[in-house]
Structure 1
Amino acid sequence: MNLYTQNEFYFSADEAYSFHIGITQRLHARHHQTFRHVIDEVPLDIDGVKSISRRLNSAALELNDVSAPEDIQSIGLTCRESLIELAGVLAQGNPELLKDHGLKAADFKGIAKAVISIYAAGRQNSNLRKRCRNLIEAAWDQSSEVVHSPNKNVPDAKICLLFTCSAVSVIQNIFLKYLGFDSEPRCPECKSMDYDISDGANPDEFILICNSCGHETSIAQEI
């Protein structure tokens, strides 16, 4: 899945050099003409937590109607409340987490980092754990700054929302790794993960048929 859409643009050196108030005003006007739902820019699949989904979708729409510093602070508050709610969901799914780590129910950073250690355990995931923890820190710290500062702007609020959505999505995806996606079958010939499954010659086996190279692999079912 692509994290970013293909129609993103970047400033050239000349554009960056000549970036002044007139360009700022034109970009601001164009932003409102071509507004794109900010949540569409990150993979976010949180159907299991409907209230968080509603919060973040509402905040994304509010980005298109900012007229005062309070509007930006409100988006930051929504992001922070969403992270706190996520912490509650994680603690609920891991009942001993708070007790074992001496954490409070609203400690998003502490709970998220503890969950990352559980879902992405092992030496092979050490770099992943570090990156995930950095993202958790960024999401929480950015939301706190946006909430408490009257000097933030629309890009600050958008970054806050992107960090929050990404933090939620990262927690989900390391959970999928924890469930066993790391051991998902691959074709031994071409390493493709695109395959069909058919019954084997015996009741206790099945055949993986690679859709890329056609190689067939017999795998015994685990009872």
Structure 2
Amino acid sequence: MTPEYRVEAEKNITSYLAGNDVNGIKYMQVEQTFDDLGGEVHVWNVKADDGNWWVVEGEGVPMNLYTQNEFYFSADEAYSFHMGFTQRLQARHHQTFKHVIDEVPLDIDGVKSISRRLNSAALKLNDVSGPEDLQSIGLTCRESLIELAGILAQGNPALLKDHGLKAADFKGIAKAVISIYAAGRQNSNLRKRCRNLIEAAWDQSSEVVHSPNKNVPDAKICLLFTCSAVSVIQNIFLKYLGRL
């Protein structure tokens, strides 16, 4: 532990304790440091007006305090309980966490084929052997956006005629739909952000398709932009309908 880390840690612990109504700190010292799980985790011995506490903090773990008066009689006990609790929280997070691709289907009819297409592209990212594989992912993203344009045009029959758009003009159709679903002065910033995302998704997919010099992160970004564009269009539609 460096002197700089110690000073910053003491400041954070003091603030954390105050937030938990522990004041009047008389003593604060690192009792023991553990590194058996890969990162340094420190157990601090803190004595205050209202009792004695263990405070556990360190790399990749949240800070928490444990009383020394009842259940946690040693730094090792506090550390063991804290890491077990933290690992359970992390496991629960991984079980409930959803990748951005999982946002695509929602509950709207007509985009299941897009979802399947994008999930297939995501799997291909794990088996890239050459530029043509990356270009294929870019092409899948672009085809998904064109399919979305067709769905939007089908749901708004007068859209193409009123705006002079072609059925495959994803950017034009998406921007027109954004103006419908996010109308009004109060949504002006939202419209701008959505349009920027639409531009980014289409332009990135086109670059990945046509360039032989792109790499896996470029294809991942392409996929993320595409998924986000599909999800954003669906969510502003839900906003338009007034759904929570």
TM-score, with length taken from structure 1: 0.62
Q: CA RMSD in A?
A: 10.4
In structure 2, how many angstroms separate the alpha carbons of the residues matched to 1:7 and 1:76?
Answer: 61
Number of residue pairs aligned between Structure 1 and Structure 2? 180
Give per-residue Cα distances to partners, 1:139-173, cap 9 Å, x unaligned.
Answer: 00000000000000000000000000000000000
CA-CA distance at 1:49 after TM superposition: 1.4
Closer, same or farther: CA 135–14 of 1 in aligned 2, 3 Å: farther
Structure number having the greater strand percentage: 2
**Is 2:105–2:115's contact at 8 Å kept on the other side of the alignment?**
no
Q: Shift of residue 36 of structure 1? A: 9.9
**Contact between 1:139 and 1:167, CA under 8 Å: does it hold in 2?**
yes
Tell me by how many angstroms 1:48 deviates: 3.5
Q: 1:93 to 1:124 in 2, by over 3 A?
A: same
Change (3 A) 1:8 1:104: farther
**Shift in CA distance, 99/45, structure 1 to aligned 2, threshold 3 Å:** same
| Structure 2 unmatched runs, 5+ | 1-62
Stretches (4+) displaced over 2 A: 1-48
Gaps (5+ residues) in structure 1? 181-223
Q: What TM-score does the superposition give when structure 2 sets the normalisation length? A: 0.57
Q: Offset at 1:50?
A: 1.6
Go from structure 1 to structure 2 and tell me whether the alpha carbon gap of 1:78 and 1:143 turns closer, same or farther (over 3 Å shift).
same
- Percent of matched pairs sharing the same residue: 95
The worse-fitting range, judged by mean Cα deviation, of 62-71 and 13-22 is 13-22
Does the 8 Å CA contact 1:90/1:112 hold for their aligned counterparts? Answer: yes
> Is the CA contact 1:43–1:166 (under 8 Å) kept in the aligned structure 2?
no
Structure with the larger RCO, 1 or 2 (CA within 8 Å, 6+ apart): 1
The Cα offsets for residues 17-47 of structure 1, whole Å up to 9 and x where unpaired, read as 9999999999999999999967258896666
- Write the deviation string for residues 122-142 of structure 1: whole angstroms up to 9, x where unpaired: 000000000000000000000
Decide which structure has the larger Cα Rg and report it.
2
Shift of 1:71: 0.2
